[in-house]
Amino acid sequence: MKFSIIYEGATSDITRSGEARLYRDMAEQSLLADDLGFDVIWSVEHTALTWYSHISAPESLLAFIAGATRRIHVGHGVICLPFAMNHPIKVAERVATLDILSRGRVHFGVGKGNTVQEAGAFQIPLDQITAQVDEAMYMIPKMWMQDEFEHHGLIEIPPRPIHPKPYQDPHPPMYMACSKPESVMIAGARGMGALVLGFSGPEEFARKNAMYRKAYRDRNPADQVGFRPNEHLAVLCPAVVLEDRDEARRIGVRGQRFFAESLAYWYAGGPPPDIPDLSIEQQTEEMERHKKRVLAFLDEVKITPTEQHTGYYDFDAAYGTVWDAIAYVERLKAAGADEILFLPQMGTIPHDIIMQTIGNIGRHVIPHFRAQGD
Q: pLDDT category, 311, cuts 50, 70, 90?
A: low
For 57, residues 6+ apart whose C-beta sits below 8 A from its C-beta are 45
Question: What is the pLDDT at residue 264?
Answer: 85
pLDDT digits (tens, 9 = 90+) for 21-52: 999 999 999 999 999 999 999 999 999 999 99
H-helix or E-strand spanning residue 307: helix 307-310
- If asked whether residues 272 and 347 sit together in one domain, one would say no
- If asked whether residues 237 and 254 sit together in one domain, one would say no
**DSSP calls for 192-212:** -EEEE-S--HHHHHHHHHHHH
Q: Which is nearest to 63 in space by CA: 84, 38, 41?
A: 41
Of the ranges 4-18, 119-133, 290-304, which one carries the lowest mean pLDDT score? 290-304
- If asked whether residues 214 and 92 sit together in one domain, one would say yes
Helix, strand or coil, per DSSP, at residue 177: strand
- If asked whether residues 366 and 253 sit together in one domain, one would say no
Q: Are 176 and 78 in contact (CB under 8 A)?
A: yes
Average pLDDT, the chain: 94
For 32, residues 6+ apart whose C-beta sits below 8 A from its C-beta are 355, 358, 359, 362
- If asked whether residues 39 and 131 sit together in one domain, one would say yes
- If asked whether residues 289 and 326 sit together in one domain, one would say no
- If asked whether residues 250 and 233 sit together in one domain, one would say no
pLDDT of 299 > 80? The answer is: no
- If asked whether residues 99 and 238 sit together in one domain, one would say yes
The residue from 293, 311, 329 where one domain ends is: 311
Q: Are 225 and 138 in contact (CB under 8 A)?
A: yes
Question: What is the pLDDT at residue 263?
Answer: 87
Q: Which domain holds residue 288?
A: 246-311
Question: What is the pLDDT at residue 77?
Answer: 97
Q: Which is nearest to 219 in space by CA: 188, 183, 178, 174?
A: 188
Q: Give how many domains the chain has, as a whole number.
A: 2
Q: Which is nearest to 260 in space by CA: 233, 293, 229?
A: 293
The residue from 311, 335, 351 where one domain ends is: 311
Question: What is the pLDDT at residue 9?
Answer: 97
For residues 296-302, give the mean pLDDT.
Answer: 71
H-helix or E-strand spanning residue 288: helix 280-300
- If asked whether residues 359 and 291 sit together in one domain, one would say no
Q: pLDDT category, 310, cuts 50, 70, 90?
A: low
Instruction: Name the packing angle between helices 351-360 and 16-35 (round to 10°).
Output: 10
pLDDT of 307 > 70? The answer is: no
Residue 127 maps to which CATH number? 3.20.20.30
The residue from 311, 332, 350 where one domain ends is: 311
- If asked whether residues 118 and 27 sit together in one domain, one would say yes
Q: Distance (Å, rounded) from C-alpha 57 to C-alpha 79? A: 9
As a 3-state breakdown, the chain gives helix, strand, coil percent values, each rounded to 5, of: 50, 15, 35
Question: What is the pLDDT at residue 163?
Answer: 98
Cα 214–227–171 angle (5° rounding)?
A: 120
pLDDT digits (tens, 9 = 90+) for 135-192: 999 999 999 999 999 999 999 999 999 999 999 999 999 999 998 899 999 999 999 9
pLDDT digits (tens, 9 = 90+) for 312-330: 667 778 999 999 999 999 9
| CA torsion through residues 151, 155, 158, 160, sign | negative
Task: Choose between 215 and 307: higher pLDDT.
Answer: 215
For residues 8-23, give the mean pLDDT.
Answer: 97
H-helix or E-strand spanning residue 35: helix 16-35
pLDDT digits (tens, 9 = 90+) for 231-251: 999 999 999 999 999 999 999
Q: Which is nearest to 194 in space by CA: 203, 210, 183, 207?
A: 183
- If asked whether residues 283 and 202 sit together in one domain, one would say no
For residues 331-343, give the mean pLDDT.
Answer: 97
- If asked whether residues 214 and 337 sit together in one domain, one would say yes
Identity of residue 241: V
Q: How many CA atoms lie within 13 A of 96 on its CB side?
A: 20
Q: Are 21 and 54 in contact (CB under 8 A)?
A: no
Cα 171–220–172 angle (5° rounding)?
A: 10
Cis peptide before 294 (omega within 30 of 0): no
Measure Cα distances from 237 to 198, 202, 231, 345 in Å: 9, 10, 20, 11
pLDDT digits (tens, 9 = 90+) for 194-232: 999 988 789 999 999 999 999 999 999 999 999 999 999
Q: Distance (Å, rounded) from C-alpha 132 to C-alpha 153? A: 10
Q: pLDDT category, 298, cuts 50, 70, 90?
A: low
Q: pLDDT category, 2, cuts 50, 70, 90?
A: very high
